[in-house]
Structure 1
Amino acid sequence: MRTFLLLLFFCSVVLSTSAFAVEPGAKAFVERGLSAYLTDGPDAAIKAWLKGSGMEGNTQALTQANSLRQIEDFYGKPESYDIVKENTISPRSVMVVFTINHAKGIVFGRFQVYRTKSGEWVATEFKFNTEAAVLLPPEMVFGKLP
């Protein structure tokens, strides 16, 4: 009986802590679009990120590709990317912050990713900016403030 209670306790601890772990699917979702961007350009990336979301087919959302093209006019083609931070907001929502490294500069990106009831990850919001302070929380840009 004591062994059963210990096992039950252990399982409940594991299950409760795993609910707060970052879901690897959210990061993979963002990375699929980033890989598409590096190989096939802004249109391919935006289409990959919008697939299955409420924004899929929305012409305003598709104009984000134009923003990425304008950045390329100044910074050159994208060369690589780095995932900077993932933060679980709720069991079905994750914020992913990343950078895109271009030939002459860096772009900061932020995605709010949501897991649907069917288990698919979709973008519910995303932004890009060349200024870290515009897009990221102050503690990420400036460190711990006094």
Structure 2
Amino acid sequence: MRKLLLVLFLYSAFTSTATFAAEPGAKALVERGLSAYLTGGPDAAIKAWLKGSGMEGNTQALTQANSLRQIEDFYGKPESYDIVKENIISPRSEMIVFSINHVKGIVFGRFQVYRVKSGEWVATEFKFHTEAAALLPSEMVFGK
């Protein structure tokens, strides 16, 4: 009987994990917006990042596009991006840190993402800054 219960428990744990694993990950959400930024500009990026989130359609959240435009005024257009770090905060939340490489400088970004019950990842908070020390944990910027 114990073996049967153990087998059932392991099977259910495996299948529930596999269900979540089939969904695109948190990193995919961030990369979708970054790709939209490179090809369609700040508005396309913000809309991609906010899709399905509680912030979707919020005019204040959409003003983040203005921040990206202001950065472009100094650094030029974005050319590429790098995912710097992914950190699991809880079973349904992650923090993704990335950089956006512009013609004349770099911008750092930080996303907090959440997996809703359907398995889809949505943004719950994000920030951009041209100064790494203003946005990233000190260990990432200065080392240990």
TM range (shorter): 0.7 to 0.9
**Does residue 70 in structure 1 map to residue 70 in structure 2?**
yes
The list of structure 1 runs, each at least 4 consecutive aligned residues, that deviate by more than 6 angstroms after superposition, is none
Mapping of residues 91-130 of structure 1, within 5 Å? 91-130=91-130
Tell me the distance in 2 between the aligned counterparts of 1:119 and 1:137: 28
Identity in percent? 86
Gaps of 5+ in 1: none
Counterpart CA distance in 2 for 1:87 and 1:121 is: 14
Amino acid at match of 1:50: L
CA RMSD of aligned residues (A): 2.1
Equivalence for 1:49: 49
Q: TM-score, normalised by structure 2?
A: 0.85
Q: Which amino acid aligns with 1:99?
A: S
Separation of aligned partners in 2, 1:88 and 1:70: 31
TM-score after normalising by structure 1: 0.84
Contact 2:24 2:120 (C-alpha < 8 Å) held by counterparts:
no
Alignment match, 1:84: 84
Structure 2 unaligned regions, length at least 5: 18-22
Give the count of matched residue pairs: 133
